[in-house]
Structure 1
Amino acid sequence: MTLTQTQIREYDRRAMDSAETATATFGIGCFWGPDAQFGAMDGVVRTRVGYAGGTKLDPTYRSLGDHTEVVQVEFDPDAVAYRDLLNRVFTSHNPQHQTKKTQYQSIVLAETEDQRAVLDEFLATRGLTADGIGTRIEQLSRFYPAEDYHQKYKLRSVSSFTDAFEAAGYGDDELRESPLAATLNGYAAGHDVAIAEELPISDRGTA
Structure 2
Amino acid sequence: MAAKIFLIALLAMVSSLAMASDPSPLQDFCVADKDSKVLVNGFVCKDPKHVTAEDFFFMGLDKAGNTVNKLGSMVTAVNVNKLVGLNTLGISMVRIDYGPKGLNPPHTHPRATEILTVIEGQLLVGFVTSNTDDGNRLFTKMLKKGDVFVFPEGLIHFQFNPGHTKTIAIGALSSQNPGTITIANAVFGSKPPISDDVLAKAFQVDKKTIDWLQAQFWTDNNN
TM-score normalised per structure 1: 0.26
- Larger-Rg structure: 2
Flag the structure with more relative contact order, 1 or 2, with Cα contacts below 8 A and sequence separation at least 6. Answer: 1
Query: Relative to total residues, which structure has the larger strand share, 1 or 2?
Result: 2
Query: Relative to total residues, which structure has the larger helix share, 1 or 2?
Result: 1
